[in-house]
Amino acid sequence: MPLSIVELFGYAPEDNSAVAIAPRTSSTCPFVSGRCIKQFKSGLVSGACTLKPTNSGPVICCPNRMYGEDYKVLLDVAVDAFGAGMRLCRTQSQAAGDGRDVVVFGKHWGKELRLPSRISGGGYFVDWILARLDPTRSLAEFVAIELQTMDTTGSYEAQVHRFLRTGTLLPDKQSNINWENVSKRILPQIIFKGHVLRQEPLCRKGMYFICPTPVYERILGRLGGNLRPYHPQPGALTFRQYDVGGPVAAGKMRALEFKGQMTTTVDQVALAFTSPSNLPAPGVYEQAIRAELTP
């Protein structure tokens, strides 16, 4: 199914302003002020932030795209979990000492924190930890954040190469959104991390999962769409959805728009994952076999 590029190095491909051309020339990401992390096997830097399948709205396909507007998604979680007036800090020494300081641990902010594993040498990284400090600048509580965008199948390299060489942008019929991979890969990790975090006395609001709306909808579909809502608590899992906004003028980047959230528990997700309710009708395999065996 053809994929069209909606955002390339942060801007619309058809945007020929100087501010849009600059990151294409240097292969830099305007959201994290570093080199674009998406690269094809040939070595060509992708630069694609958001793609559009023919049967869907735009889908953010790069995690760094979610960090636009100075890591707005992290501050949103800090406010939701700890209350209004929170501010993000890179180090404890930057804290003002009024109970509203949140030290951030994660990529681009310094150190990522690894969750221990029962297997020697194993473990998982949590994408982000937000640690609120009390007025004495000591740890008061924290929440964890996982962030997931979308993978693709095939390659849209020819589309990017053609555009960078000629300025012509055509949909690439050799690539598609890999919807299933996200469900298979991320859900077991969320369940494991959620169970580890619920043992932490200071992780009082559980874990947040940030993703584009189409990813959230696919995950709900994979889980049967019937997760029970809960209020934030130890062992909670809060899904937060974001999408890019509509087209903007040349030299501008689309806004990152919050589309809603839903809180459930790790137990609800684990039960839905291992006991799906959206199964096909009984006998479908038998029918398929008989159809092939019929002369």
Is residue 214 in a domain? no
Q: What is the pLDDT of residue 295?
A: 67
> DSSP class of residue 280?
P
Question: How many angstroms separate the CA atoms of 224 and 214, rounded?
Answer: 15
pLDDT in tens, 161-203: 666 665 666 555 565 666 666 667 788 889 989 998 999 999 9
In terms of average pLDDT, the best of 10-14, 56-60, 283-287 is 10-14
Q: Which domain holds residue 32?
A: 1-62+152-177
> Would you say residue 132 has pLDDT above 90?
yes
In this structure, which amino acid lies at residue 105? F
Distances from the Cα of 220 to the Cα of 148, 264, 269, angstroms: 14, 12, 9
Is residue 237 in a domain? no
Task: Using only the alpha carbons of the chain, give its radius of gyration.
Answer: 21
Q: What is the pLDDT of residue 164?
A: 65
Is residue 73 in a domain? no
What is the CA angle 163-29-70, rounded to 5? 140
Is residue 19 in a domain? yes
Is residue 114 in a domain? no
Is residue 263 classed as helix, strand or coil in its secondary structure?
strand
Is residue 47 in a domain? yes
To the nearest 10 degrees (0 to 180), the angle between helices 213-223 and 179-197 is 80
Give the total number of structural domains in the chain: 1
User: In the predicted model, what is the mean pLDDT of residues 77-93?
Assistant: 95
